[in-house]
Amino acid sequence: MHIAVVTLFPGMFEAVTGYGVTGRAATQGGLVVTTVDPRDFTGDRHRTVDDRPYGGGPGMLMKIDPLRQALGAAREQAGAPARVVYLSPQGRRLDHGRVKALAAEPSLVLLAGRYEGVDERLLESEVDEELSIGDYVLSGGELPAMVVIDAVARLLPGTLGHADSAAEDSFAAGLLDYPQYTRPEIFEGRRVPELLLSGDHERVRRWRLKQALGRTRERRPDLLAGRDLGPEEEQLLAEYCREHGI
């Protein structure tokens, strides 16, 4: 997949293209991430990319024309047909469903805003959807764009070593992770649950499922609301709740 990002800070994207599984996906070709800087499409000596908002008020907006030209260049880089996503506090919340939908697109153009945002008319004419990564205020759309790139990259074939780990990933299954342990067996007087050392894989599977269900109930009951529990899951959750007094 080709993801072209329109951003005033192209250097920030080294964080996804240069490291970890996204970096490997970028070098192995499963994922191509390119950037387009609107400043390269300005016509004045100061390479101005911002302007004052009509109606007054604090802050500046991104100028339309450099963005429009940068979006055109990004579409060319990504290859048609590219879905254009504007990262914005006014967008729909990003969740696993949206990530899966974006990972199925042939290519993406991500518009990362700065300042107070973008002229509404440019959004109407160029943008397919707006996405937020949560209800907190950031300084721009670049980190949200990198969150999208990372989450999408993990779903692309060949990005993760054993592809099933993406499917097994707890959020994919709609549950929080169970507790995880590795050496040493005793850490500051705390032992690893015996059953994990037993080699009894069926018992380990059930324990992990029970922990995932119980912890989800305790910490993120909203995730359980949208999930039909099977008979085994109902029983394991009931056991967990009994044992934990919830």
Residue ranges for the known binding site for S-adenosyl-L-methionine are 113, 133-138
As annotated, the active-site residues are 89, 116, 154, 169
In terms of CB distance, is 66 or 113 closer to ligand 21W?
113
Q: Which residues are annotated as a binding site?
A: 113, 133-138
Minimum CB–partner distance for residue 59 and ligand 21W (Å): 7
Minimum CB–partner distance for residue 11 and ligand 21W (Å): 18
Beta-sheet pairing, 2-6 with 107-112: parallel
Minimum CB–partner distance for residue 86 and ligand 21W (Å): 8
Binding mask 73-92 for ligand 21W (x = CB under 6 A): --------------xxx---
CA–CA separation, 173 and 101 (whole Å): 16
HEC sequence for 4-55: EEECCCHHHHHHHHCCHHHHHHHHHCCCEEEEECHHHHCCCCCCCCEECCCC
Minimum CB–partner distance for residue 146 and ligand 21W (Å): 11
Looking at residues 13 to 52 of the shown chain, list those that interact with ligand 21W (rule: CB under 6 A). none
In terms of CB distance, is 5 or 133 closer to ligand 21W?
133
CA–CA separation, 84 and 120 (whole Å): 15
Q: Is 232 helix (H, G, I), strand (E, B) or coil?
A: helix
The helix-helix angle for 142-155 and 20-28 (nearest 10°) equals 70
Looking at residues 99 to 158 of the shown chain, list those that interact with ligand 21W (rule: CB under 6 A). 113, 116-117, 132-134, 136-138, 140-141, 144
In terms of CB distance, is 48 or 90 closer to ligand 21W?
90
The size of the interface with ligand 21W (CB under 6 A), counted in residues, is 15
For residue 206, give the amino acid letter.
R
Looking at residues 194 to 223 of the shown chain, list those that interact with ligand 21W (rule: CB under 6 A). none
CA–CA separation, 24 and 53 (whole Å): 42
In terms of CB distance, is 143 or 173 closer to ligand 21W?
143
Beta-sheet pairing, 82-93 with 129-132: parallel
Residue linked to tokens 């059930």: 206
Kindly list the residues in this chain that would bind ligand 21W in the complex (CB under 6 A).
Answer: 87-89, 113, 116-117, 132-134, 136-138, 140-141, 144
